[in-house]
C-alpha cells in the first residue's frame, strides 16, 4: 500500500455524479482592494469529500484556508466555481463552525452555551437535557455546567465550543484551527478528546490547521495548499487505523515518515509565503 498518494489539481476532476458530502469544483475567490485591484485568495480548487471523512487542510499563512471554510459555512460567496454541502437530513443543521480562540458567549453558562443551537431549533427541553448532558460528560465539563466562560481555562472554553458543535448535531463540522492558541499539553488532550467524540458518530469534518502533526494525527485525508493564491497542491491519504491513540501513533516510524513527506510538499510553499511577506515590508 502506498503510504502517500497525492492528487494534483491538473489531474483531478470532481466527479459529476459524485455522492460526496462536500463537492468543491473549480473554486475561485477574489477580493477587491481599495484601488480596485483584485486579490486572488483561492484559485481552481476541486475536491470531493465523502460523508464521514475527517478532512484536514494545511497550508502556509495567507493561502486562503479560512476563506474556503467561510465559503462552505455560507459566510462568503465564491467568485466562480462552487462549494456545495449535500444535505441528506433536512431536519438537522447543515453545518456548525468551531473557530480559533474563544467563540462562546461570555454571558451564558457552560450549559446554556452547549444548548444554544438546540434551543434555537426549539428542541424539546427533555431532549436538550439528555443531549447536552451527554456532551458535557464526553468533554469532562459536567461539574462546570453552571460556570461562566471567564471562570474557565482556555482549553476548557474550547471544550465548550466542541460540545456545542456536536450537540447541535450538524451534518458537517467546520473547524478553523480550534487548538492553535493552546499549550502543547492541552492541545494533545483535546485532540484525543475530539477523536474520541468524533469516532462515536463519524461526522464529516473539515478541519484547518497549520500543524502537520495535528493533521496526520486527526485526518483521514489531508489537502496541502499552495502559497497564495491558494490551490490544491496534493490530497494525501492517511493510512492509520482507527480508533487512534495520539501518543501511541506519534511514536511509530510510519507516523514520522508521513509527517516528513507532507513537509516535503509544504516546505517550499511556506518559504514562498515568507518571501512574499518579506517583499511587502
User: Grid coordinates representing 244?
Assistant: 487512534
C-alpha closest to that of 221 among 192, 160, 262: 262
Distance from C-alpha of 266 to C-alpha of 17, rounded to nearest angstrom: 31
Q: Residue 134: its pLDDT value, please?
A: 94
HEC states along the chain? CCCCCCCCCCCCCCCCCCCCCEEEEEEEEEEECCCCCEEEEEEEEEEEECCCCEEEEECCCCCCHHHHHHHHCCCCCCCEEEEEECCCCCCCCCEEEECCCCCCCCCCCHHHHHCHHHHHCCCCHHHHHHHHHHHHHHCCCHHHCCCCHHHCCHHHHHHHHHHHHHHCCCCEEEEECCCCCCCHHHHHHHHHHHHHHHHHHCCEEEEECCCHHHHHHHCCEEEEECCCCECEEEEEECCCCCCCCHHHHHCCHHHHHHHHHHHHHHHHHHHHHHHHHHHHC
Give residue-wise pLDDT tens across range 16-66: 445 789 999 999 999 887 777 788 899 999 999 999 999 999 998 888 999
Distance from C-alpha of 81 to C-alpha of 29, rounded to nearest angstrom: 9
Q: Residue 78: its pLDDT value, please?
A: 93
Distance from C-alpha of 67 to C-alpha of 110, rounded to nearest angstrom: 29
- Segments of the chain scoring below 70 in pLDDT: 1-18, 277-281
Q: Residue 160: its pLDDT value, please?
A: 94
| Distance in angstroms between the alpha carbons of the first and the last residue of the chain | 46
Percentage of the residues of the chain whose pLDDT score is greater than 90: 69
Q: Residue 90: its pLDDT value, please?
A: 86
Domains and CATH numbers, the chain: 1-94+173-281 (3.40.50.300), 100-169 (no CATH)
Chain center to CA of 255 = 21
Q: Residue 277: its pLDDT value, please?
A: 66
Q: Are the CB atoms for 53 and 221 separated by under 8 Å?
A: yes
Distance from C-alpha of 224 to C-alpha of 233, rounded to nearest angstrom: 6
Amino acid at each position: 500500500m502506498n503510504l502517500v498518494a497525492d492528487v494534483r489539481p491538473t489531474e483531478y476532476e470532481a466527479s459529476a455524479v459524485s455522492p460526496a458530502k462536500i463537492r468543491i469544483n473549480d473554486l475561485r475567490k477574489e477580493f477587491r482592494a481599495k484601488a480596485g485591484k483584485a486579490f486572488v485568495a483561492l484559485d481552481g480548487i476541486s475536491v470531493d469529500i465523502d460523508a464521514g471523512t475527517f478532512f484536514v487542510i494545511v497550508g502556509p499563512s495567507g493561502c486562503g484556508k479560512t476563506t474556503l471554510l467561510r465559503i462552505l459555512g455560507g459566510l462568503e460567496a465564491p467568485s466562480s466555481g462552487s462549494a456545495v454541502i449535500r444535505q441528506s437530513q433536512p431536519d438537522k443543521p447543515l453545518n456548525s463552525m468551531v473557530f480559533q480562540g474563544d467563540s462562546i458567549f461570555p454571558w451564558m453558562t457552560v450549559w446554556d452555551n452547549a444548548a444554544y443551537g438546540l434551543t434555537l431549533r426549539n428542541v424539546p427541553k427533555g431532549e436538550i437535557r439528555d443531549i447536552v448532558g451527554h456532551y458535557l460528560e464526553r468533554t469532562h465539563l459536567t461539574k462546570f455546567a453552571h460556570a461562566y466562560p471567564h471562570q474557565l481555562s482556555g482549553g476548557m472554553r474550547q471544550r465548550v465550543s466542541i460540545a456545542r458543535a456536536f450537540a447541535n448535531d450538524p451534518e458537517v463540522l467546520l473547524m478553523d484551527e480550534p487548538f492553535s492558541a493552546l499549550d502543547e499539553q492541552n492541545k494533545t488532550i483535546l485532540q484525543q478528546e475530539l477523536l474520541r467524540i468524533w469516532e462515536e458518530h463519524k461526522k464529516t469534518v473539515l478541519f484547518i490547521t497549520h500543524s502537520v502533526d495535528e493533521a496526520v494525527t486527526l485526518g483521514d485525508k489531508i489537502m496541502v495548499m499552495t502559497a497564495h493564491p491558494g490551490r490544491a497542491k496534493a490530497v494525501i491519504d492517511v493510512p492509520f487505523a482507527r480508533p487512534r491513540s495520539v501518543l501511541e501513533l506519534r511514536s511509530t516510524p510510519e507516523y514520522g515518515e508521513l509527517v516528513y513527506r507532507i513537509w516535503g510538499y509544504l516546505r517550499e510553499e511556506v518559504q514562498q509565503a515568507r518571501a512574499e511577506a518579506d517583499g511587502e515590508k
